[in-house]
Amino acid sequence: MKKYIAEFLKGIIKENPTFVLALGLCPTLAVSVSVINGIGMGIAATFVLLGSNIIIALLKNIIPERVRIPCYIVVIATFVTITELVMKAYSPALNRALGIYVPLIVVNCIVLGRAEAYASKHSVADSLFDGLGMGVGFTLALILISGIREFLGTGKFLGYTLIKGFEPAFIFAMPSGALLVIGLLLGFFNLLKNRKEAKAK
Amino acid sequence: MNIAQFLTIFISAVFLYNVILSRFLGLCSFIAISKETKPALAMSLAVCFVTTMSSIITWLIYRFLLVPFHLTYLRTISFILVIATFVQFVEMVIRKISPPLYRFFGIYLPLITVNCAVLGVAVLNIDMFFVNGKSLPGSFYYSVFQGICVGLGYTLAMLLMSGIRERLELCHVPKSLKDFPLGFIIASIMSLSFFGFNGFRF
């Protein structure tokens, strides 16, 4: 059991897909205008990661080595289609807000990266917890980025005004604000890492 | 089909909604390959070619296969498979007929398969030029043109970025900001300047 918890936790901090592995940044930046969108995208990606990791771990002995990437893509695309249909049926507003970024989960490097680097070599249970951990790590990163952007860009958090009289900086709601926030956050996490390494010496 | 529509597509795809700086598609390759101008140019040309061709192919598939058989929900799967196959095929053809060109493109051609810009433009074409499963008049030409323009927008951003980063090689940068973080901050400033094109709207 301990092993599974470790598998789960590594995706959240030590190997966080967004800040440490720097994978799947396109949707992260595009949908992080508001926290609600960020959470929606995070859940959708987590579902796809979980599903594709399980199926690929199950099929790892059947899929021929040479055509493995197309096989992975078909599995991933199937789960993305399921997500898309479910989202269209139950939450059309979210589907409209996320727009073309829902079908684009297919080419999100996190999903294919985990399939290739992890699920194709490990057992089903391991892959399940790996997918879950990576998904949650991705969601938390999205919440962090979209939280910063929503607060600074509109003065709100989850749609509620936090500080009265706060003058929002519109740049954070624009695409360039997303790039700025992710650049500074990556720099900040690098700084923490460098400090830790310096201390270890 | 009129000239104004083409002009709108051109300006919005290259400047207003630049594929990298405003839509954030193909960001991974943008940050990773823009350190020098020559590879950046190779990647951009490859992207241009693939977005154009995939716009043509995906439009034909959607219009003549998916719509008549009511299979539009298979859009994502079919598009990604066709694009992956197409890129693979082009790679084989180029290797056979022109080894110098193959060396010029190097590893960038296979990388395009997972470039979100390519699938992005295919999905975007369908979203923009099909209404309730019916193609708008002239939508084929608009789709192909949009594919070309998205490629051009990618090239523009890529060349600007690689030019800036080549100069940055000589500057002293805080250790934690090196490479990726600084790349994003530069992209942010570029995106802000592209936002100035918003006054262009018709």
Give the domain range for residue B41: 36-192
pLDDT in tens, B58-93: 999 998 988 888 888 888 889 988 888 888 888 888
How far apart CA B91 and CA B110 sit, in angstroms, is 7
Q: Are A112 and B191 within 8 A, CB to CB? A: no
Would you list the domain boundaries of chain A? 2-200
Q: Which residues contact B2 (CB under 8 A, 6 or more apart)?
A: none
Q: Which of A54-68, A78-92, A168-182, B25-39 has the highest mean pLDDT?
A: A78-92
Q: What's the average model confidence in pLDDT over A75-96?
A: 91
Checking if the pLDDT of A82 tops 70, the result is yes
Lowest-confidence segment of A94-108, A155-169, B113-127, B183-197 by average pLDDT = A155-169
Tell me how crowded residue B18 is: count the other CB atoms within 10 A of its CB: 25
Residue A174 near chain B (CB below 8 Å): yes
Lowest-confidence segment of A16-25, A86-95, B20-29 by average pLDDT = A16-25
Phi, psi of A80, deg, nearest 5: -65, -40
Phi, psi of A20, deg, nearest 5: -100, -50
Say what the pLDDT of residue B1 is.
Answer: 65
Q: Are B174 and A187 within 8 A, CB to CB? A: yes
Q: Are A104 and B74 within 8 A, CB to CB? A: no
| N-terminal to C-terminal alpha carbon distance within chain A | 34
- Residues 18 through 77 of chain A touching chain B, CB cutoff 8 Å: 22-23, 25-27, 29-30, 69-70, 73-74, 77
How far apart CA A166 and CA B78 sit, in angstroms, is 48
Substitution target in A18, A19, A176 with the highest count of B β-carbons within 10 Å is A176
Q: Looking at the 3D structure of chain B, how many domains does it have?
A: 1
The token pair that represents A35 in the structure block: 């926290």
Res. A99 pLDDT band, cuts 50 70 90: confident
Q: Which residues contact A198 (CB under 8 A, 6 or more apart)?
A: none
| Residues in chain B, pLDDT under 50 | none
How far apart CA A96 and CA A74 sit, in angstroms, is 25
Say what the pLDDT of residue B153 is.
Answer: 92
More confident residue, B135 or A84: A84
Out of B77, B178, B195, name the one closest to residue A74 (CB).
B77
Res. A46 pLDDT band, cuts 50 70 90: very high
How far apart CA B162 and CA B183 sit, in angstroms, is 10
The ipTM, to two decimals, is: 0.83
* B20 within a domain of the structure (yes/no): no
The whole-angstrom distance between B138's CA and the closest CA on chain A is 22
* B99 within a domain of the structure (yes/no): yes
Say what the pLDDT of residue A81 is.
Answer: 92
How far apart CA A133 and CA B132 sit, in angstroms, is 39
Closest to B43 in 3D by CA, of B117, B94, B106:
B106
